[in-house]
Structure 1
Amino acid sequence: MRLTDKLPRVAPDGLPAAVLLSFLATAGLFYVNIMAALVTGLSDGLGIKPASAGLIASANVYGAAVGALAAVFLIRRIPWRVAATAALLGLIAIDLVSTRVVSVPWLTALRACHGIVGGLLVGVAFAVIARTRSPDRVFGMLLVVQFGIGGIGLWALPPLVPHYGTAILFLALAAFSLATLAMLPFLPAYPVATESGVTAAPAPIARRPLAATLAAIFLFQAGNMGLAAFIIGLGRNAGLSQDFIGPTLAAANWLGALGSILVVAMGARFGRAKPILGSIAVTLLFTAAFWRSDLAVVYVAANIGSAIVWAFTIPYLLGLAAAFDKVGRTAALGGFCSKLGLASGPLLTGLLLDRGGYPLTIGAAVLLLLLSGLAAAWPARLLDRAAPSQD
């Protein structure tokens, strides 16, 4: 008997399990939660242009999209605990190597590899989350963890880069993966099973509603991350100081967790269409408010408001994808499209900054978010009509 077999396991659908699963899903993509600190730190620490820093960050997330797509095909063939352990060890190794690389091309390639491994880990974690009784609530807890710890990273890491270089960014990522690795043995088995305990055969998937859901996830993440990755530069361009921007972003991340806490409390009690469409409408207002970032109070309100509704909306969108298949394949596909959007947003923003500046990038974000709401409306209403709401 292995030593880990003697350790106590948490209840599959309890709050401790939701927290541990949230750390597991966060570990593969934690750099997204500190994306603004990463982009600014790479630019300042390596002395490169923001577009080059954005390219490195985008390569990381594009790699994650590839890894998440691979997870769709692997989750039924490889034990999820084995895959998660191997991925966490791989992430730690790549982050440690990244501390020694200063060449932009080599660092871009290395971070793309990191993304592939991390994306595979997140895809596996999402597939396991889909096997819980209420994926929406677990995804909500995931955002609580991401925003809470991400806020610490955004507040603490940028001032450390001038003293310790870009290595401090990658060491922080490695430390988080190491902590998650220590949590892994306490999670239960989460087999693929029906209510009777018999292994389930893959059920047919409604492809067109799923496609609309995946498009909504991609557009929503691209619209939000396109601004979030450059939000420090946006504030500086508007005349705000780093001493003001840092605490603002930290507070926005911490308060943003309120949105995901609300999801944990609500679940699917009111369906998915109303929460998704209502929150995206509010997101449009807060995103448009960034046009007046020259007003400090508006910059603060826009960051806090958009963080809260982002943390509220994405768990429902990911839960919507998970609802199409309890094996976890569509949840992994949702993770793939989420990462594809998170990667494409900063890349698009970096290109638009050279052509129209921040006003154009804000307009692009508003458009992407609007299209996301339109794409999500049909599948959300369809599933609400097909199944009773959950308490």
Structure 2
Amino acid sequence: MIISSRFPKVAPDSMTARVLLSFLATAGLFYVNIMPALVDGLKEGLAFSSKQAGMVGSFNMYGGACGAFVIAFMARRLNWKPAALWMLIGLIIMDLLSIPVSKPELLMAVRFGHGLIGGALVGLGFSIFARTAAPDRTFGVLLLVQAGAGGLGVMCLPWLVSVFGTPVLFICLIAFSIVTLLMLQFLPAYEVIAPKADTKAAAPLMLTPLLFALCSVFLFQAANMGLYAFIIGLGRQAGLEIDFISETLGIANWVGMLGALLVVILSTHYGIFKPILGGMLLALLGSWALVSSDVKWIWIVSNLITGITWNFVIAYLLGMCARFDQTGQTAVWGGFASKMGLASGPMIGSFILHETQYTSLIWVALLMLLLASLFSGIPAWILDRGVDKEEPAPVPAPTPEPDNETYTTAS
């Protein structure tokens, strides 16, 4: 399998490149963006219990965490384009294999395999993000893509599942992977940036704040996904109609794009400590409001706030991880922490909801958000004091590829 270089390549640090890279990183975890529809679809279409459906989602994301962990040791040495191509093909195959499965345990195994490939692809994509100028902005564009596509999925898939059954969930994922496969041809070759001579000497001094940053990513993602995976069930228990729930979630995803857009616009103009702290506080407020989900206007406002703050804060958190080096390795570790958090949230929720205790789930999520706020403050403060708040220097453009060059996978 080869990737031809005859396709025109976009400029490495252009907005078009950021969009294409965002589709690449989204393809491996698009199931996360439609998680409420996936969990609810398994419950409604295959009669899975809340615990079984939540476990399927968790196994999918734990597979993603394992894939991200493995790729963290390989990202700098991989010929990334052909690797990404094979990973996308692998995702399509695993989604095809998921369609006929109706037993929870078998589906957990298949989705773990899907997550393993998808997590590796996301980690690979994150390592490329770190090779661009202003990775915060690239992560912001990533979340714009995820919020836009995820909003459409959450709004439409519950209805489509009721008409066509659960296979439509996996067909949606296959279609996204095929589109990304086509986009891959237009990305330039992002070369690995050689670490500075004093990187090894400085690394031990930055290890502690990096660990704090990774913990904050894990806790923030676990808190949000723990609520988001079961948000449709929470709304149902509060007495809300499914049409109202789906429409609200879809709109909240789209409005949530404002959070990612703010990151693209602001970047590090105000540093990262103030934006992260402010976003965390609003996320706490929005999640707390879900206690009164039976009041429609509170349900709407709560989902709007959490949608905006989720996109806003996680872009800064992942960008913060990427700023610890420019080789892409710490960005991949940030992706691993993110996957572990996304997987652990539904896993915790599936046990809490054994008797549909949604209020308990909300309070556990609030505790994790509070801890995430505390853990994120230290590295954000250190990076704000140690780096210039202006735009980072652009990464040199890679040497143009010869017209007839092709890429082949390593044996």
TM-score, normalised via structure 1 length: 0.97
The residue aligned with 2:396 is none
Instruction: Deviation per CA, 1:72-91: give whole Å up to 9, x if none.
Output: 11112211112111100000
Cα distance in 2 for partners of 1:77, 1:283 equals: 38
The residue aligned with 2:274 is 274
The residue aligned with 1:203 is 199
Amino acid at match of 2:274: K
Instruction: Deviation per CA, 1:302-355: give whole Å up to 9, x if none.
Output: 001110011100000000000111111110000000010001001111111225
The residue aligned with 1:112 is 112
Cα distance in 1 for partners of 2:197, 2:322 equals: 16
The residue aligned with 1:94 is 94
The residue aligned with 1:227 is 227
The residue aligned with 2:35 is 35
Question: Are 2:271 and 1:255 aligned?
Answer: no
The answer on whether the counterparts of 1:192 and 1:200 sit within 8 Å (CA) in structure 2 is: no
Cα distance in 2 for partners of 1:164, 1:226 equals: 27
Question: Are 2:298 and 1:298 aligned?
Answer: yes
The residue aligned with 1:325 is 325
Instruction: Check 1:159–1:202 CA distance in 2 against 1; reply closer, same or farther (3 A cut).
Output: farther
The residue aligned with 2:154 is 154
Question: Are 2:136 and 1:136 aligned?
Answer: yes
Instruction: Check 1:210–1:5 CA distance in 2 against 1; reply closer, same or farther (3 A cut).
Output: same
Cα distance in 2 for partners of 1:138, 1:56 equals: 30
Amino acid at match of 2:244: F
Larger helix proportion of the pair: 1
Moved over 2 A (4+): 199-205
Q: State the secondary structure of the residue aligned to 1:313.
A: helix
Q: Aligned pairs, how many? A: 386
Q: State the secondary structure of the residue aligned to 2:256.
A: helix
Cα distance in 2 for partners of 1:212, 1:240 equals: 39
Q: State the secondary structure of the residue aligned to 2:131.
A: coil
Deviation, 1:160, is 1.1
The residue aligned with 1:363 is 363
Deviation, 1:193, is 2.6
Cα distance in 1 for partners of 2:100, 2:161 equals: 14
The answer on whether the counterparts of 2:46 and 2:102 sit within 8 Å (CA) in structure 1 is: yes
Deviation, 1:356, is 6.9
The answer on whether the counterparts of 1:227 and 1:345 sit within 8 Å (CA) in structure 2 is: yes
Instruction: Deviation per CA, 1:74-125: give whole Å up to 9, x if none.
Output: 1122111121111000000110111111111111000000000000000000
Cα distance in 1 for partners of 2:100, 2:54 equals: 19
Amino acid at match of 1:24: L
Q: State the secondary structure of the residue aligned to 2:189.
A: coil
Cα distance in 1 for partners of 2:356, 2:160 equals: 32
Cα distance in 1 for partners of 2:94, 2:289 equals: 38
Question: Are 2:370 and 1:374 aligned?
Answer: no
Instruction: Deviation per CA, 1:162-187: give whole Å up to 9, x if none.
Output: 22111100010011001000000111
Instruction: Deviation per CA, 1:184-236: give whole Å up to 9, x if none.
Output: 01111110135xxxx86793332111000000000000000100000000000
Instruction: Check 1:175–1:166 CA distance in 2 against 1; reply closer, same or farther (3 A cut).
Output: same
Over the matched positions of the two proteins, sequence identity in percent amounts to 49
Cα distance in 2 for partners of 1:331, 1:76 equals: 12
Cα distance in 2 for partners of 1:276, 1:23 equals: 25
Cα distance in 2 for partners of 1:32, 1:202 equals: 38
TM-score, normalised via structure 2 length: 0.92
Q: Which moved more, 1:138-147 or 1:356-365?
A: 356-365
Deviation, 1:3, is 7.2
CA RMSD of aligned residues (A): 1.3
Cα distance in 1 for partners of 2:112, 2:377 equals: 33
Amino acid at match of 1:104: P
The residue aligned with 1:316 is 316
The residue aligned with 2:264 is 264
Q: State the secondary structure of the residue aligned to 2:5.
A: helix
- Unaligned stretches of 5+ residues in structure 1: none
Amino acid at match of 2:80: W
Cα distance in 1 for partners of 2:338, 2:3 equals: 36
Question: Are 2:77 and 1:72 aligned?
Answer: no
Amino acid at match of 2:20: L
Instruction: Check 1:166–1:355 CA distance in 2 against 1; reply closer, same or farther (3 A cut).
Output: closer
Amino acid at match of 1:84: A
Cα distance in 2 for partners of 1:13, 1:60 equals: 32
Amino acid at match of 2:33: N
Cα distance in 2 for partners of 1:376, 1:193 equals: 26
The residue aligned with 1:238 is 238
Q: State the secondary structure of the residue aligned to 1:374.
A: helix
Q: Which moved more, 1:73-82 or 1:236-245?
A: 73-82
Q: Which moved more, 1:98-107 or 1:290-299?
A: 98-107
The residue aligned with 1:212 is 212
Amino acid at match of 1:324: F
Question: Are 2:56 and 1:56 aligned?
Answer: yes
Amino acid at match of 1:183: M
The answer on whether the counterparts of 1:202 and 1:327 sit within 8 Å (CA) in structure 2 is: no
The answer on whether the counterparts of 2:80 and 2:124 sit within 8 Å (CA) in structure 1 is: yes
Amino acid at match of 1:313: V
Cα distance in 2 for partners of 1:314, 1:282 equals: 13
- Unaligned stretches of 5+ residues in structure 2: 392-411
The answer on whether the counterparts of 2:50 and 2:353 sit within 8 Å (CA) in structure 1 is: no
